[in-house]
Amino acid sequence: MLINTFIHIPGIGPVTEKKIWRSNIFNWKADTNFSGLNLSASKIKDIKTFAAASNQHLENNNPGFFEALLPSNQHFRLFPEFRPFCAYLDIETTGLSSGSHITTIALYNGRQITYYVHGKNLDQFLDDIQNYSVLITYNGRSFDIPFIEGYFNITLPHAQIDLRYILKHLGFKGGLKKCEKALNIDRQDLEGVDGYFAVLLWNEYTRNGNPKALETLLAYNIEDVINLETLMIEAYNLNIRKTPFYASHEIKKPTQPENPFKADLKTIDRLKYRYY
């Protein structure tokens, strides 16, 4: 879809993009002839200039060029071309205040699940994240990424696809769990576990030494990133239905990997009884 995109060119909006498609010009690859467009000479010049630049940045695997020029709700267009360089990311923390810290981080690249735990291997995340150029999150632009950057005192240079904006544009609102329900994603044993409960699980692990609490927290954190892949592909397919490319560009639903951790229902029930 990215090579079929023209709205990243200054002065080209959705209406003009559809006009370009109706002119049987469907991409900006190097051999495309734009002279037949019923547009001003200056716009055609801009299209040619940005087509050349877009080709160069795509060949150099630079998603940041496109991310900076596309609206946040259109970042789904980055996904197919940069999919091999994408990582689904989610963090859990002890809270939202300035004294809070990261408890666990989950990464999933569509093939392999990696997780990091405070006090064990959290710093390994800093090395592993360099293997990717695009981070896919839900509300990560506002929470996960700034929290990570502040906690580690780093800047993550990665392009971002924040599904919050893409799903909101499609009419799905109310947080990650509500979006999952709307798209028929079942969390099974983790139903009802949320970010606040994740804090309770961490406290149960650190204060009472309950390993089942940590396993449940990791199951919850990893479930988030596994489901992000499903949401990403659902959002992509729903968006391209509005374009001429649905038949050729649709992405098959992924086979979800097995979560390496299982939620401990006894621990969940005990904490719910204690705190709720």
CATH of the domain at 180: 3.30.420
List the alpha helices (DSSP H) in 107-175: 124-128, 144-152, 163-169
Give me the mean pLDDT over the 89-110 stretch.
94
Q: What is the pLDDT of residues 226-242, one digit of tens each?
A: 999 999 999 999 999 98
Is 65 inside any structural domain? no
**55 and 102 fall within a common domain:** no
Per-position DSSP letters for 33-64, written without gaps between them: --TT-SS-HHHHHHHHHHHHHHHHHHHTT-HH
**17 and 91 fall within a common domain:** no
Query: Residue 223: which domain range?
Result: 80-275
Q: What angle do CA 67, 71, 74 make, to 5 degrees?
A: 85
Q: What is the pLDDT of residue 7?
A: 95
Q: What is the pLDDT of residues 163-180, one digit of tens each?
A: 999 999 999 988 999 999
**101 and 169 fall within a common domain:** yes
Q: Is pLDDT above 80 for 33? A: no
Calculate what percentage of the chain has a pLDDT beyond 90.
Answer: 81
**122 and 178 fall within a common domain:** yes
Q: What angle do CA 198, 204, 206 make, to 5 degrees?
A: 105
Cut 0.75: pTM above it: yes
d(CA 206, CA 92): 14
Q: What residues have CB less than 8 Å from 143, skipping those under 6 apart?
A: none
Q: What is the pLDDT of residues 48-99, one digit of tens each?
A: 899 999 999 999 999 999 999 999 999 999 999 999 999 999 999 998 877 8
Number of structural domains in the chain:
2
Is 70 inside any structural domain? no
Residue with tokens 């390993």: 211
Q: What is the pLDDT of residues 251-260, one digit of tens each?
A: 998 888 999 9
Is 238 inside any structural domain? yes
How sure is the predictor about 35, in pLDDT bands with cuts at 50, 70 and 90? confident
Q: What is the pLDDT of residue 276?
A: 81
**14 and 114 fall within a common domain:** no
How sure is the predictor about 191, in pLDDT bands with cuts at 50, 70 and 90? confident
Q: What is the pLDDT of residues 129-143, one digit of tens each?
A: 999 999 999 999 999
Is 69 inside any structural domain? no
Q: Is pLDDT above 70 for 41? A: yes
Q: What is the pLDDT of residue 116?
A: 98
d(CA 75, CA 249): 16
How sure is the predictor about 42, in pLDDT bands with cuts at 50, 70 and 90? confident
**28 and 146 fall within a common domain:** no
**36 and 103 fall within a common domain:** no
Q: Is pLDDT above 70 for 30? A: no
How sure is the predictor about 267, in pLDDT bands with cuts at 50, 70 and 90? very high
91, 150 in Cβ contact below 8 A? no
Q: What is the pLDDT of residue 99?
A: 85
Q: Between 265-275 and 211-240, two packed helices, what is the crossing angle to 10 degrees?
A: 100
Q: What is the pLDDT of residue 5?
A: 96
Q: Is pLDDT above 70 for 154? A: yes
